[in-house]
Amino acid sequence: MKSDIVQVLFSSLTLLGVGGIIGGYVTYFLNRKKELEFKQLEQKERRYRSCLLFMDVYFEPENIKYLSSRHPDIHNAQDVIGYLKAEYHEMLLYASKGVILNLKKFIEAPTREHFLNAILSMRHDLWLKKYDLDLEQIRIDFDIAHPR
């Protein structure tokens, strides 16, 4: 009887020790995974913001002043598309399929619709994982916004 109690006690202590070690490893790997996911999200956000600035300057050349401090060699729309292509190539490493395809469409045919679709796909990739807005809800009629 006494040996059974000792054996159960010894087994329990051994199990707790092994469980603690396994728990420590699981916690470490989960924390490491979260850290890597956070870094990836941070990188995506930085790159997506950069792309948004380039696309905006393509349509609103007077906004080039926001890029001139970081990119003094940008002078026209073709320069903007050149930088956007470089961003696109870097994005191939980490961006979602939707972002890549929508940015590609914009580079090949820069339209406001492609611009807005790229923004929606970036928003979806970064935060929402679902589409809560559509193109018609975010479209601005630029003839009304900028009367000539």
The domain locations on the chain are 38-145
Determine if the pTM surpasses 0.95: no
Given a contact cutoff of 8 angstroms between Cβ atoms, the answer to whether 135 and 120 are in contact is yes
pLDDT (tens digit, 9 = 90+) per residue, 49-103?
Answer: 989 988 988 888 888 887 877 888 888 878 888 889 999 999 898 899 999 999 9
Q: Give yes or no for residue 41 having a pLDDT over 70.
A: yes
pLDDT beyond 80 at 23:
no
List all residues 6 or more positions away from 142 whose beta carbon is below 8 Å from its beta carbon. Answer: 112
Range with lowest mean pLDDT among 2-6, 15-19, 100-104: 15-19
Q: Specify the range with the lowest mean pLDDT, choosing from 34-38, 89-93, 131-135, 140-144.
A: 140-144
Say if residues 99 and 126 touch (Cβ distance below 8 Å). Answer: no
| 67 or 45, which is more confident | 45
User: Of the candidates 30, 53, 20, 31, which has an alpha carbon nearest to the alpha carbon of residue 119?
Assistant: 53
